[in-house]
Copies of this chain bind each other. A is one copy, B any other.
């Protein structure tokens, strides 16, 4: 695991004061590990395209399922990948001070199409295990034809920035506090539900432990 702070570049420098920027790799890793869907931004004929897709990672790079973007992505095209967890609404006394509690990571770089079958299998393993730990060894792994039919992108985690906002609204000690209005936060939580078996399964088939144990746990 790389332990140096994230480099501050023109793209990752934080311009706003209200949100807290972080250059701590542990914050980046925590945000990436708390989710499995990112928004991948690419430029197609001068226009932006933002598509949701799934991802996994190792210590140095992000792996992205790239089918959605494959028509647009040549090798080495600049991308921006953003992962956001929304933790709640910040309800202040004034509309102006309203906001959102969130954790967001933004990764900039050149996405590379993974072509080596070994790296592709390893990237897909990371991606699968990221979304559902235990699933890569449980499910049938991709054969050669399926591997070839899968578009996987790799993106270095080197140039990244993190923004986190937590806590109460900011106008509790200003003149608006005299208005006598309620203020605070309304938390938002993501929770895994009970696994839903595929209808063709035998009705008495038990849910595998690695899937069953996530039911009811917090996501994000």
Contacts and interface: CB of A to CB of B under 8 A. Distances in A.
B104 A52 contact: yes
A172 B200 contact: yes
Given A95-B141, A182-B201, A219 B188 contact: yes
A51 B132 CA distance: 26
Interface in A129-146: 131-132, 135-136, 138-142, 146
Query: How large, as a class, is the contact surface on chain A?
Result: 35 or more
B106 A186 contact: no
> What is the predominant secondary structure among interface residues of chain A facing chain B?
mixed
Contact of A91 (B11, B108, B139, B168): B139
A174 to B, nearest CB: 10
A78 B132 CA distance: 36
A168 B93 contact: no
A181 B139 contact: yes
A80 B146 contact: no
A157 to B, nearest CB: 16
A181 to B, nearest CB: 7
A173 to B, nearest CB: 7
A74 interface: no
Contacts of A193: 88, 186-189
A173 B199 CA distance: 10
Interface in A1-46: 11, 15-16, 36-37, 39-43, 46
Interface in A158-181: 168-169, 172-173, 176-177, 179, 181
A201 B179 CA distance: 11
Given A48-B50, A186-B193, A189-B191, 8 more contacts: A11-B49, A48-B80, A49-B106, A50-B50, A95-B136, A172-B201, A184-B195, A187-B193
